[in-house]
Structure 1
Amino acid sequence: MTREENDLVTRVGPGTPMGTLMRQYWVPALLSSELPKPDCDPVRVMLLGEKLIAFRDSLGRVGLIQNHCPHRGASLFFGRNGDCGIRCVYHGWQFDIHGNCIDMPNEPNESDFKRKVKALAYPCVERGGLVWAYLGPRAELPPLPDIEVNQLPEGECAIVPTMLECNWLQAVEGEIDTSHSGFLHFGSIQPDDVAEGTFLHYTVKDRAPRYSVVDTDYGVMYGAYRPARPGYTYWRIAQFMFPFFTQTPEGILGHHVITNAWVPMDDYHTMAFIMIRKDPREQAWPGRHPIQGNADKYPTVQTPVLPNTSEWFGRFVSAVNATNDYGLDRARQRNGTDYSGIPYLPAQDRAMQESMGSIYDRTQEHLAVSDVMVIRVRRRLLAAARALAERQVVPPGVDCPAVYRNRSGSIILPEGADWIQATKELRQAFTDHPEVLLQQP
C-alpha cells in the first residue's frame, strides 16, 4: 500500500474521501442508555472527526447537535436541557433536535432573528439499544441496515462498547485476521489440552489455515479452512460489511448471532460496539469446550471498564490499557500459561492494534498469504471511496438494507464440499436452525 492509499483509507474527517463514504451510511453514535431519560444530562460525542453534543429532549427524542453554539461559539455541552431543546447558558439561545433556534431571549420580542439561525444537527434513530445517526447529505434518508442482532426483542441483545486508541481500520483488520487466534489467543494451548473434535482442537492442531475469499454485495466474506476428522474440513466463515461492520467466526454457523461495529470517532480513536445475541444454550465463546485440566490457559473474556467521564474520549475506556501494559504478566508468558502474557482476550487484541500507533504506516508492511482477507477489504474500501469521489457511485449497501442479513460462524463440512453453497442457508439471518447445535461440537 502506498502512503497516499494509506491516508485515503484511514482518514475520516469531513471532506476526506473515506469520511465522505462513511457519511453515506447510518452510523452507531452511542448507547440509548447513555441518555437514560428525557431532559437528562447531555453527552459529548466524537463521531467521524466531528465534536457533537447528544441530548434527549422532553419528548424522549434524541438530538445530535454541533458542539459550538451558533451565536458566539460556547459549547452546548454546558447547556440546560429542557422544554424540548438544549439552551446555551451563555445567552440563553435554545435549539431543538433539528437544530432550529426556538428561543432567543436576549433579543427584543419583536425580533425574528431566531428564524434565521440554525445549528448543525443530524437525524437520529434508536434501534436495539443503539442511537444511530446520519451525517450525510441526503434530504431523503437512506434505510438503516438490516443487521439481525440490532433488531432482536428487548433483552435478547447484549452490547459491549469499548473505546480503542487507534485508527478504525486497525481494529477492523484485527477482526478479519483469523490466523492470529491460534497464536495471540490460544498459542499456549496444545491439541491434547482440549477435547478432540471441537473447533478449538482443530484450531490449535493446525495454526496455518488456508483461505477462500469472495467479494459480496455488502463487502467481503472469507472461509478459512483446516483439516478436521478424517473426511471432513473445519471452516471459519466471517464477514466484512461496509463501511466498518464485521461478523466473527467464533460461534456455530446458523445459530450464533453477532455483529461488531468499529465506528471512527476521529482518525486516532475508535468506538467498538460488540452486539451479540444472548443465548443460555451457548457458552461465552460458542464452539469451544473448556480446556481439560488447565482452565488458566483460557483467556478471560470480560475486561474491567473505567467509569465514564464527560471528556471527548472518556466513554467506555478499558481499565486494562496501555498505561498498565494491558495487564502483561511476563511470568505467565514464560511459563506457558498465556502465549501473550495478557490474560484478557479483548485486551490481547487491543494491545496489538494500539501498539501499531495511532495510524500504522502500511508502507512498512510485508503482507503474506495469510493476509488475503485484509488485502481484499482494503481494495474494496479504496475502490468504493474513489468511485464515490470521482463518479458519485453510491457505496455498497447504502440503499440495500437486506444485504446485511448475514451470519458468521464455524462449521465442519465434508471434505471437498462447496463451502459457499453448503452454508448458504446457514448464513441467512432471521432464520432458526436448532439442528446445528446437535450436529456441531
Structure 2
Amino acid sequence: MKLEDSIDLTRVGPGTVMGEFMRQYWIPAAMSSEVKADGDPVRLLILCEKLIAFRDTSGRVGILDHRCPHRCASLFLGRNEENGIRCVYHGWKFDADGKCLDMPNMPPNRDFKDKVHAKAYKTAERNGLIWVYMGNDQENPPPLPDIEANYIAGSEIWCLQRECNWLQALEGDIDTSHVGFLHVGSLTPDDLPEDHPMRPTVINRAPEYEVRNTEWGAMYGGYRPNEDGQTSWRVAHYMFPFWTQTPNARFATRAIARAWVPMDDEHCMLFDISGGVDEGNPAYISTRKTGELLFEKFEYEPATTDWYGRWKCRDREFNDWGIDRQSQRDGVQFTGIANITIQDQAVTESMGAITDHAHEHLSPSDQMVARTRRTLLAAARAWRDKALTPPGSRKPDVYMGARAGSFLDTPSVSLEDAYKAQLEKAVRWTSEG
C-alpha cells in the first residue's frame, strides 16, 4: 500500500479524508446505561474530538464539545442540573442542543445568551445504545442505520477499548483463517461436539474464499469441505464506515454487529451488539465435549474519568496481555491467552499503534482485507473529491442485507446462492420487531 493510502485510511481527525467521511454517518457513542439523568457528565473521545455526554432531567442526552464557549473551561466539571449543564467557572448554562440558557455573571442589560451556543451534536438512542451524528449538516441528519442486531429486544451490548488504530482492529474481524490458529490452534476435532460451528475450522485450517462488493461494503465466504460431505461456509461482512459482522455465530438464529469507533488515531472503542433465539454467541460460550469452557472471560480495569478511562481490559500490553507461557506450551491455549477477545486484542495491538503497511506481505487469505481497504478508500475519496454521498449513510435499509454466521450447504453452490438460501430461512429482526 502507498503511504498516502495508509494515511488516508488511518487518520480520523477533523479535516482528514477518513475523519470527514465517518462524520457523515451515525456513530455509536456510549451505552445508554453509562449516562444517567442529572448524573455526572461522561468524557467521550471520538474522531479526535474531546466531548462530554450528559443526560438532562427529562432524559435527553446531550453530546457537546467539552469546552465552554465562554473561556474554554471544561464542561466535564459542570453541574448537570434542571435540564442543562452549568459551567462551574462563571455559571453559564447550556441545554442538550448547546443553547445557552443562562449567563448569571452578566448584568441583565449585558446578557447576550441568545447569541451563544456550545458546539453540540445530534444524538439518538435505540435499544440501549446512544448514537451521535458529527456531520456538518446538523439540521438534516440521516436516519439511523438499520443494523439488525440493534433491533433485537434485550440484545447484549458490551464495549472494549483497544489501544491501536481502528483499521487494524477492524481487520481482525474480516480475516477468517486466523481462527484456526489464534483461537483454536490447540484443538482437535475430537475436542468439539459434532454440531459446533468451529469444528469445520479445526478439521481444515486453510479455507478457500469468495469475496464480493456489496451495497453495504463487502462480504466474504470462507468455505471448506465438511466431514459429512457438505460444504462448510463462514460468511462475514464489512459495513460502512467501521462495522463488521463476524462468522462465529449460527447464521439462522443470531445477529451480530461490531462497531470499531475511532477515538483518535491510536485508540478505538469496540461496541459489540448481538442477540438471537439461540443459546448465545458460540464465540463466548463455547465448550469442549467435556463441558469445559474453551475461553475464559476477561476482566475490566476499574473505570476512571479520564479520556481513556472507559472499558479498558485488565490485560493489556503492559503485562503481555496476560499470556501464560505454560498454557501455551501445554496446548491448553495455542496463544497462552485465555480469552478469545483478548487473543485478538493482543495481536492487533502488538502491530503498533498504527501498523506500518509497508512491512506487510498480503496473501490470498487476505482477499477480504485488501478488498475492504480498496472499497473504503474509494468511497472516502469520492466523498472528498466529488461530494458523492457516502454509501449507506442516507439509505439505512441497505444494512438489512447483511447477515453473518456459519452454515452447511451442498457442494458446488456459489456464495451468492448459498447466502440467499440461508437468508430466506433465517430469523430476521427489523424496526417492527
Superposition TM-score tier, normalisation by shorter sequence: over 0.9
- The offset of 1:428, in angstroms, is 6.6
1:300-319 superposed matches below 5 A: 300=296, 302-319=297-314
- The offset of 1:363, in angstroms, is 1.1
Distance 1:41 1:287, change over 3 A: closer
Query: How far, CA to CA, are the matches of 2:117 and 2:216 in structure 1?
Result: 36
Is the contact between residue 200 and residue 287 of structure 1 (CA under 8 Å) also seen in structure 2? no
Query: How far, CA to CA, are the matches of 2:315 and 2:425 in structure 1?
Result: 34
SS in 2 for 1:184: helix
SS in 1 for 2:220: strand
Distance 1:232 1:321, change over 3 A: same
Distance 1:34 1:432, change over 3 A: closer
1:26-425 superposed matches below 5 A: 26-36=26-36, 38-138=37-137, 139-153=139-153, 156-196=154-194, 198-277=196-275, 279=277, 281-285=278-282, 290-293=287-290, 295=292, 298-300=294-296, 302-405=297-400, 406-425=402-421
Of 420-429 and 96-105, more deviation after overlay is shown by 420-429
Is the contact between residue 148 and residue 429 of structure 1 (CA under 8 Å) also seen in structure 2? no
- Deviation by residue 1:30-78 (Cα, 9 ceiling, x = unmatched): 1111112x21110000011100010111111000011111111110000
RMSD value, Cα:
1.9
Residue 437 of structure 1 corresponds to none
Distance 1:126 1:432, change over 3 A: closer
Query: Are 2:14 and 1:17 equivalent residues in the alignment?
Result: no
Is the contact between residue 245 and residue 259 of structure 1 (CA under 8 Å) also seen in structure 2? yes
SS in 2 for 1:378: helix
Distance 1:161 1:197, change over 3 A: closer
- The offset of 1:299, in angstroms, is 2.1
SS in 2 for 1:377: helix
Is the contact between residue 199 and residue 287 of structure 1 (CA under 8 Å) also seen in structure 2? no
SS in 2 for 1:131: strand
**One-letter amino acid of the structure 1 residue matched with residue 75 of structure 2:** L
- The offset of 1:104, in angstroms, is 0.6
SS in 2 for 1:257: strand
Query: How far, CA to CA, are the matches of 1:199 and 1:414 in structure 2?
Result: 16
SS in 2 for 1:424: helix
**One-letter amino acid of the structure 2 residue matched with residue 20 of structure 1:** E
Q: For structure 1, which runs of at least 5 residues remain unmatched after alignment? A: 434-441
Query: How far, CA to CA, are the matches of 2:424 and 2:276 in structure 1?
Result: 18
- The offset of 1:194, in angstroms, is 2.4
Q: Between the two proteins, what is the percent identity of the paired residues?
A: 49
Distance 1:273 1:179, change over 3 A: same
Query: How far, CA to CA, are the matches of 1:432 and 1:21 in structure 2?
Result: 30
- The offset of 1:188, in angstroms, is 0.3
SS in 2 for 1:183: helix
Is the contact between residue 197 and residue 249 of structure 2 (CA under 8 Å) also seen in structure 1? no
- Deviation by residue 1:240-260 (Cα, 9 ceiling, x = unmatched): 100011111111112111111
Query: How far, CA to CA, are the matches of 1:109 and 1:315 in structure 2?
Result: 41
Distance 1:429 1:322, change over 3 A: farther
Q: Size of the alignment, in residue pairs?
A: 427
- The offset of 1:327, in angstroms, is 1.2
Query: How far, CA to CA, are the matches of 1:423 and 1:222 in structure 2?
Result: 10
Is the contact between residue 152 and residue 276 of structure 2 (CA under 8 Å) also seen in structure 1? no
**One-letter amino acid of the structure 2 residue matched with residue 393 of structure 1:** L
- The offset of 1:192, in angstroms, is 2.8
Distance 1:288 1:272, change over 3 A: closer
Is the contact between residue 248 and residue 281 of structure 2 (CA under 8 Å) also seen in structure 1? no
Q: TM-score, normalised by structure 2?
A: 0.95
**One-letter amino acid of the structure 1 residue matched with residue 422 of structure 2:** L
Query: How far, CA to CA, are the matches of 1:41 and 1:425 in structure 2?
Result: 49
**One-letter amino acid of the structure 1 residue matched with residue 367 of structure 2:** V
Query: How far, CA to CA, are the matches of 1:206 and 1:214 in structure 2?
Result: 23
- The offset of 1:335, in angstroms, is 1.4
Distance 1:307 1:429, change over 3 A: farther
Distance 1:287 1:126, change over 3 A: closer
Residue 436 of structure 1 corresponds to none
SS in 1 for 2:205: coil
Q: For structure 2, which runs of at least 5 residues remain unmatched after alignment? A: none
**One-letter amino acid of the structure 2 residue matched with residue 107 of structure 1:** M
- The offset of 1:111, in angstroms, is 2.2
- The offset of 1:289, in angstroms, is 6.5
Query: How far, CA to CA, are the matches of 2:318 and 2:164 in structure 1?
Result: 15
Of 372-381 and 185-194, more deviation after overlay is shown by 185-194
Is the contact between residue 221 and residue 237 of structure 1 (CA under 8 Å) also seen in structure 2? yes
Query: How far, CA to CA, are the matches of 1:159 and 1:207 in structure 2?
Result: 30
- Deviation by residue 1:357-383 (Cα, 9 ceiling, x = unmatched): 111111110000100000000001110
**One-letter amino acid of the structure 2 residue matched with residue 151 of structure 1:** Y
- Deviation by residue 1:285-316 (Cα, 9 ceiling, x = unmatched): 179973235837x222x311122110100001
- The offset of 1:114, in angstroms, is 1.4
SS in 1 for 2:259: strand
**One-letter amino acid of the structure 2 residue matched with residue 110 of structure 1:** N
Distance 1:432 1:404, change over 3 A: closer
